[in-house]
Amino acid sequence: MSNYVERVIELCKQKNPGEIEFHQTVEEVLTSLAPVCEKHPEYEEAALLERLTEPERGVTFRVVWVDDAGKVQVNKGYRYQFNSAIGPYKGGLRFAPNVYPGIIKFLGFEQIFKNSLTGLPIGGGKGGSDFDPNGKSDAEVMRFCQAFMTELYRHIGPNTDVPAGDLGVGAREIGYLFGQYKRIVDRYEGVLTGKGIPYGGLLGRAEATGFGIVWYAEEMLKANGEDIKGKDVVISGFGNVAWGAAWKLQQLGANLIAFSGPDGYIYDPDGINTDEKVDFLLELRASGKNICSPYAEKFPNAKFTAGKKPWGVHQDFGANVDLFIPCAMQNDVHMEDAKNIVESGCKFYCEGANMPTTNDALVYLMDKMIAVGPSKAANAGGVACSCIEMGQNAGHTVFQHEDVYAQLHQIIKNIYSACAKAGETYFGNKNALVQGANIAGFERVAEAMMAQGLV
Ligand code: GLU
């Protein structure tokens, strides 16, 4: 690793003490940028990496609201505006009890490269709160969202910063946030994406992230002479991302055999590939209840394993797996899981969630698999469609499903090609997609930052 890269990683750790998720992504990304920085000594002179790892702006604010029992509640709110070199800040809001600056900065930093890879004009940002929507009434969620937006509105705008959803922020939350923004500024504008279809949302946005992941995996397989049709696939989670992925896998004739939820995981040797099964899961998810154990009760061939993730489905049931797609959350796959995955004989691994793999596990998988797809490339379909939604709103128009899917599919193919090309150029390996994604995402932002001077 170059001295410059090492120095900036250390500096970032010192300047952001205790923010381990942020350190993790900075270390992972910057390590792969070493050959680019060696080729461009002017980047060090311009302190490019130091600037890249320091958000342009970050706000932390108090969110005060009253729960249904009349008790006053106080949460923390955040928005980190990381990089606007190639467009307005863009990235979701996460509402979860474990949210703190380390999580928001990790997500915001990843978003810079992800958004750049889409080829669209969007910078990187992320925000959120330590508020937990689980177990809250609709009225409580609304009061929280209104209080949150009452501060956030002054920092965002359709050409400044455009938030969207992430964990804990779905259609309901976006609706309440949008309503409050509009009430305050008295303008109808596309300040949030992931909106409901009747009020400016984009057809196809809900499934875009999952569709994109599967299309990306399809490209990975194709480049190595394999067809996704008929492949046995394991995913983790069953949130928005996993749901879209399950749907596209079904369309492409792949065989989804396992998924997970908070209560454990399901192995269904018959495949989770009928509308009845997927609809049942969606119903369970909407009810806020556990999803795995009721699934096993309804479909008796399915096996439920309590308290475990699906990475050992080969060891537990002798299942064949051709492709693993972690779709739940960060650091879902640790070293021992990676060993199980490799031991299963599976050769392809495509990240769905943001940073679902610990750095040591990722290095191990990259060494043992034919190809590993990185999340910032594979899951970029969500934010790409968000940008299309921004265009739809700015143009006061409505795009059709087919157009959105066609654009999304092309964007994902372009992203895959950019990653493979950078892998080939810098590492002589078209399957070096993890490094390739970091490099391809970085190159565009670096060029823009250099052109714009010391800002
Ligand atoms: N939270 C999503 C992501 O991780 C979507 C961001 C957006 O649409 O702005 O990319």
Answer whether 423's CB lies under 8 Å from 432's CB. Answer: yes
CA 90, CA 156: separation in Å to the nearest integer?
Answer: 10
Which residues have CB under 6 Å of ligand 1?
Answer: 90-92, 114, 164, 166, 193, 354, 382-383, 386
Tell me if residue 126 is catalytic. yes
Which candidate, 418, 414, 448, 445, places its Cα nearest to that of 433? Answer: 418
Nearest atom of ligand 1 to the alpha carbon of 166: 1
Binding-site sequence positions for substrate? 90, 111, 114, 165, 386
Q: Average pLDDT of 211-219? A: 98
Question: What is the pTM for the complete model shown?
Answer: 0.96
At 140-150, the pLDDT tens digits run 999 999 999 99
* DSSP letter for each residue of 402-450: HHHHHHHHHHHHHHHHHHHHHHHHHHS-TT-HHHHHHHHHHHHHHHHHH
- pLDDT given at position 289: 78
pLDDT of 67 > 90? The answer is yes
Q: How confident is the model at residue 239 (pLDDT cuts 50, 70, 90)?
A: confident
Listed as own residue / partner, the contacts of 411-415 with beta carbons closer than 8 Å and 24 or more positions apart are 411/118, 411/119, 411/120, 411/212, 411/380, 411/381, 411/384, 412/212, 412/215, 412/216, 412/219, 412/380, 412/381, 412/384, 413/215, 413/219, 414/119, 415/117, 415/118, 415/119, 415/216, 415/377, 415/380, 415/440
- pLDDT given at position 1: 66
Tell me how long the chain is.
455
CA 248, CA 211: separation in Å to the nearest integer?
Answer: 5
Cβ burial of 66 (10 Å; 0-12, 13-18, 19+) is middle
Q: How confident is the model at residue 110 (pLDDT cuts 50, 70, 90)?
A: very high
Q: Average pLDDT of 36-65? A: 98
Look over the chain and give the mean of its residue pLDDT values, rounded to a whole number.
Answer: 96
Q: How confident is the model at residue 77 (pLDDT cuts 50, 70, 90)?
A: very high
At 390-423, the pLDDT tens digits run 999 999 999 999 999 999 999 999 999 999 999 9
The mean-pLDDT minimum among 62-66, 135-139, 235-239, 395-399 falls in 235-239
- Cα of 195 vs centre of ligand 1, distance in Å, is 13
At 333-370, the pLDDT tens digits run 999 999 999 999 999 999 999 999 999 999 999 999 99
User: In testing the pocket of ligand 1, which one of 95, 111, 117 has its CB within 8 Å of the most ligand atoms?
Assistant: 111
CA 287, CA 308: separation in Å to the nearest integer?
Answer: 22
Q: How confident is the model at residue 281 (pLDDT cuts 50, 70, 90)?
A: confident
Give me the domains of the chain, ranges plus CATH numbers: 53-190 (3.40.50.10860), 207-378 (3.40.50.720)
At 151-196, the pLDDT tens digits run 999 999 999 999 999 999 999 999 999 999 999 999 999 999 999 9
